[in-house]
């Protein structure tokens, strides 16, 4: 990881989700190997949904040592857990 920005222009949301899932799973595996844990902050909205779905599938699923992953919620709405506007519901599904 460097302090220099890594700017990528991708053709569509599917390519963005694939690139983001690859980045997250690679960083998670590297951090867990080096530091023993990885902290991931999840946000809501429709854009990250594709990333979350890909992280739950191979090859990303087995790349991450899930027992060493700490998940935090950001931008959560104050609604019941089963409410359609609840952001954590999307990640759990």
Domain membership of residue 39 as a residue range = 13-92
Structural tokens at position 86: 């609840």
Examine residue 32 and state whether it is found in any structural domain, yes or no: yes
CA dist 33 → 28, 69, 87 (Å) = 8, 12, 29
The pLDDT value recorded for residue 1 is: 59
Gap between the Cα atoms of 46 and 7, Å rounded: 21
Examine residue 2 and state whether it is found in any structural domain, yes or no: no
> What does residue 15 show for φ and ψ, rounded to 5 degrees?
-70, -35
CATH of the domain at 80: 3.40.50.1360
Examine residue 6 and state whether it is found in any structural domain, yes or no: no
What single-letter DSSP state applies at residue 50? H
What are the tens digits of pLDDT across the range 43-53?
A: 877 788 899 99
Q: For tokens 């854009």, what's the residue?
A: 47
Contact 36, 70 (CB under 8 A): no
What are the tens digits of pLDDT across the range 69-81?
A: 999 888 767 788 7
Length of the chain: 93
Examine residue 18 and state whether it is found in any structural domain, yes or no: yes
């Amino acid at each position: 990881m460097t302090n220099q920005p890594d700017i990528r222009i991708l053709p569509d949301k599917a390519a963005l989700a694939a690139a983001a899932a690859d980045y997250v799973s690679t960083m998670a595996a590297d951090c867990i190997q080096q530091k023993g844990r990885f902290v991931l902050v999840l946000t809501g909205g429709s854009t990250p949904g594709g990333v979350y779905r890909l992280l739950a599938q191979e090859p990303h699923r087995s790349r991450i040592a899930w027992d060493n992953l700490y998940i935090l919620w950001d931008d959560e709405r104050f609604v019941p857990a089963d409410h359609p506007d609840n952001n954590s519901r999307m990640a759990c599904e």
